[in-house]
Structure 1
Amino acid sequence: MLSADVIVIGLGSMGGAAANALAQRGLSVLGLERFWPSHDRGSAHGGTRIIRQSYYEGVEYVPLLLRAYEGWRRLEEQSEQKIVTLTGGIYIGDPEEETFTGALRSARQWNLPHEVLSSAEITGRFPAMRPAESALGLFEANAGFVNPERTTAANIQVATQHGARLHFGEAVRSWTATRGGGVEVVTDHGTYGADRLVVAPGAWSAQLLGEVGAPVASERQVMYWFEPGYSPGRPAFEDYAVGRQPVFIERTNGNDQVYGFPIADGPGGGIKIGFFHEERPTDPDAIDREVLPFEVARMQSRALELFPHLTGRLIDAKTCLYPSSPDDHFMIGLHPEHSQVTVATGFGGHGFKFVPVVGEIAADLSTRGRTDLSIDLFALDRPALQD
């Protein structure tokens, strides 16, 4: 039976980062992934994921984001890949809407550089956007996006360089805690043993973590790329592209919150945009990956509220999965019954920006049983996760 110091189940965004962090600490690591490297079956694809620091979801996240930014740069250096693109970020909402007020609260509490812009000032600086007159925006220059496929590939690359053995196309069927304090993992291909286990199952949390993972609901999400309509008197290509247009989040006058990105792939590319939550629970093994015309029409209608000249064709649409907890906060900690097992799941639609620091936290918990980073918000026994 092949053995290791640590087995990592799931080599997507978080599991790949955990395998990398553990391997760099000198442990023997075995990683197991049911799909292929940088696959598109879960939550780590689509070309771009927002990174930002003025976090409206909670001031508690900001120290972890600052640590994650260090990790992004380190991963770029170690892998010699371009992963991070800073474009600036604008978070737009009514004066009392959490998209704006929460971002402002985080920026002020942690002394993050930022500007507050009126609706007219937003349009003056970013001509493609026309927010509602009542809207305010918080702009931070130190925001942008990372490439998710390159991120997972980079973690795989660096982990392998540090001795990790990573198996792809090998689905885990079960794991058990052994009497001696270790673990045993059964896959399609065999049985493996280790002293410790990290489970980063994403949308497959309930299948691989039982009751511990049961609170995680898999949501079907759609990402869309629309081509702007170019004509005299309308914004030019450059107004939608990296270099002028920032990443954005917007919710005004009670509409559905949207997020998106500038054109990042040159002329012929499109603005990427999506709803933050669509509340469509799904079985991750039976997700409907066909995007229907009514979905496209709904998204484009909503996009036009912010980008009135985004009238071109749909370039592409892709589905992904959000594995979300009931309160939309992450789930990170030691398994309540087996202290040799570390759980990292429930990252929903806002976890990717934390990939490097989640890998660090998982490695801390797996090797020391604790971390010096603040993760109380993500406790596995918090009331929101109980029935």
Structure 2
Amino acid sequence: MTYDVVVIGLGGMGSAAAYRLAQRGKRVLGLEKFTPAHARGSSHGGSRITRQAYFEDPAYVPLLLRAHEMWDQIECDSGERIFHRVGGLIVGGQDSGAITGSRASVEQFGLTHELLDASQLRRRFPALRPADDEIGLYEPGAGFVVPETSVWGHLALAARAGAELRFEEPVTHWEAGKVTTTRGAYEAGHVVVCPGPWAPELLGGLRIPFEIERQVQFYFDPHDDFRDHPIYIWDRADGTNFYGFPEHDGAVKVAFHHGGEICTPETIDRTVHAHEVEAIVRATRSPMPGLAGTFRRATTCMYTNTADRHFVIARENDVTVACGFSGHGFKFVPVVGEILADLVIDGATRHPIGLFDPARLRGGE
């Protein structure tokens, strides 16, 4: 069969791309090797931080401004609650990368925020015990999105717009114009590849050394009250950096950001060990003593890292790719879907994506 576009991978980015392409009148086939909104890759775990005070690079902020608009629209169109605006805190030393980078973004774009010293943090958020030389940047418009609900919502909208979605159908080979799976072969005017941690397997031709990193998400019954707490990212001087969420679905979630074991989707250890639980308890005991109360559960996921931790989004002839989101991509899901549709249909996008050119990772060729 022949389609205008075949989308490989229907996780966060692929589901959004399938929807935006179908919405704009393209005949779309979406292919996913697992079931919808599965827990085998990177789009699961119940929550993902979204914020606009972006310490990674101010160049991301225009995309985040658009993404926040689009989350509201996706909620309205799908009827699903996805975005929880609970506020967000970046905590660290005044010269820490998270604080200085966040301040650069909010100042460049005039984002609403507050700077709080350690005593103000303790009064405002009693669960926090910052050191005297630590400060916080509070962003009232930050919060978290629910990845599984996002995927389900985008898939439902894609199907409503006419996309054909096939699950448990792994891709065995693809090239410009043709995609082969375990069930058949499909002709495609354009191929969009959103492979998540399967990027090394499906995108070897990019000649980019992606690194797949195992991460663990921990869930606790806390001793303190986290029901109305903001999301937080804590950039600690001793390097034990972690992030977390308010109570959601009966538990609080906390995790380290990076520092996990290097793996592949086939070799990842999906068992969470006692020493890993002990490590997150130790890391949070001093700054948030009431957080890690009774351990409830843990789950693994994977980051697909590039060398500079920036994304890869590009079109080359009749193939467009989106990958290498390096553990901070899910908040961009709706705008990445829009960008991919732009690249497929128009060959360009109004959104600033120069930072994501794969040529930078191949020596600028």
Normalising by structure 2, we get a TM-score of 0.97
Give me the whole-angstrom Cα distance separating, in 1, the residues matched to 2:87 and 2:337: 25
What is aligned with 2:166? 167
Amino acid at match of 1:34: K
Give me the whole-angstrom Cα distance separating, in 2, the residues matched to 1:325 and 1:102: 20
Any conservation in 1 of the 2:43–2:148 contact (CA below 8 Å)? yes
Give me the whole-angstrom Cα distance separating, in 2, the residues matched to 1:247 and 1:384: 36
Distance 1:275 1:154, change over 3 A: same
What is aligned with 2:87? 88
Amino acid at match of 1:296: V
What is aligned with 2:357? 379
Amino acid at match of 2:238: G
What is aligned with 2:319? 341
1:308 deviates by 1.3
Which string of whole-angstrom CA distances, capped at 9 and with x for unpartnered residues, describes residues 223-277 of structure 1? 0012223xxxxx4x3xx11x2x100000122322111101112xxx332110110
Give me the whole-angstrom Cα distance separating, in 2, the residues matched to 1:32 and 1:75: 21
Given the alignment, which residue of 224, 229, 235 partners 1:251? 235
What is aligned with 2:30? 31
Any conservation in 2 of the 1:160–1:166 contact (CA below 8 Å)? yes
Any conservation in 1 of the 2:312–2:322 contact (CA below 8 Å)? yes
What is aligned with 1:330? 311
What is aligned with 1:270? 251
Q: Which runs of 5+ in 1 are unaligned?
A: 178-182, 230-234
Give me the whole-angstrom Cα distance separating, in 2, the residues matched to 1:203 and 1:381: 20
SS of aligned partner of 2:94? coil
1:109 deviates by 0.5
Any conservation in 2 of the 1:215–1:385 contact (CA below 8 Å)? no
Matches within 5 A, 1:103-142: 103-142=102-141
RMSD: 1.3
Which string of whole-angstrom CA distances, capped at 9 and with x for unpartnered residues, describes residues 102-131 of structure 1? 111100100000000011111100111111
Give me the whole-angstrom Cα distance separating, in 2, the residues matched to 1:11 and 1:386: 30
1:211 aligns with 2:211: no
Give me the whole-angstrom Cα distance separating, in 2, the residues matched to 1:310 and 1:82: 26
Any conservation in 2 of the 1:205–1:214 contact (CA below 8 Å)? no
Amino acid at match of 1:349: G
Give me the whole-angstrom Cα distance separating, in 2, the residues matched to 1:293 and 1:220: 16
Amino acid at match of 2:115: V
SS of aligned partner of 2:358? coil
Give me the whole-angstrom Cα distance separating, in 1, the residues matched to 2:49 and 2:32: 25
Aligned residues: 365
Identity %: 45
Distance 1:386 1:297, change over 3 A: farther
Give me the whole-angstrom Cα distance separating, in 2, the residues matched to 1:255 and 1:348: 18
Any conservation in 2 of the 1:326–1:385 contact (CA below 8 Å)? no
1:211 deviates by 3.3
Give me the whole-angstrom Cα distance separating, in 1, the residues matched to 2:170 and 2:93: 46
Which string of whole-angstrom CA distances, capped at 9 and with x for unpartnered residues, describes residues 181-202 of structure 1? xx11010000000100100001
Amino acid at match of 1:310: L
Distance 1:364 1:81, change over 3 A: same
Given the alignment, which residue of 267, 270, 279 partners 1:286? 267
Any conservation in 1 of the 2:55–2:105 contact (CA below 8 Å)? yes
What is aligned with 1:180? none
SS of aligned partner of 1:347? coil
Q: Which runs of 5+ in 2 are unaligned?
A: none
Amino acid at match of 2:339: I
What is aligned with 1:5? 4
1:163 deviates by 0.2
Any conservation in 1 of the 2:208–2:362 contact (CA below 8 Å)? no
Give me the whole-angstrom Cα distance separating, in 2, the residues matched to 1:210 and 1:105: 36
Amino acid at match of 1:19: A
What is aligned with 2:346? 368
Normalising by structure 1, we get a TM-score of 0.92
Give me the whole-angstrom Cα distance separating, in 2, the residues matched to 1:194 and 1:107: 42
Any conservation in 1 of the 2:307–2:361 contact (CA below 8 Å)? no
Which has the higher mean CA deviation after the structures are superposed, 72-81 or 248-257? 248-257
SS of aligned partner of 1:382? helix
1:310 deviates by 2.8
Give me the whole-angstrom Cα distance separating, in 1, the residues matched to 2:222 and 2:168: 39
Give me the whole-angstrom Cα distance separating, in 1, the residues matched to 2:350 and 2:15: 21
Which string of whole-angstrom CA distances, capped at 9 and with x for unpartnered residues, describes residues 287-308 of structure 1? 1100001111001110113211
Give me the whole-angstrom Cα distance separating, in 1, the residues matched to 2:162 and 2:251: 40
Give me the whole-angstrom Cα distance separating, in 1, the residues matched to 2:6 and 2:284: 43
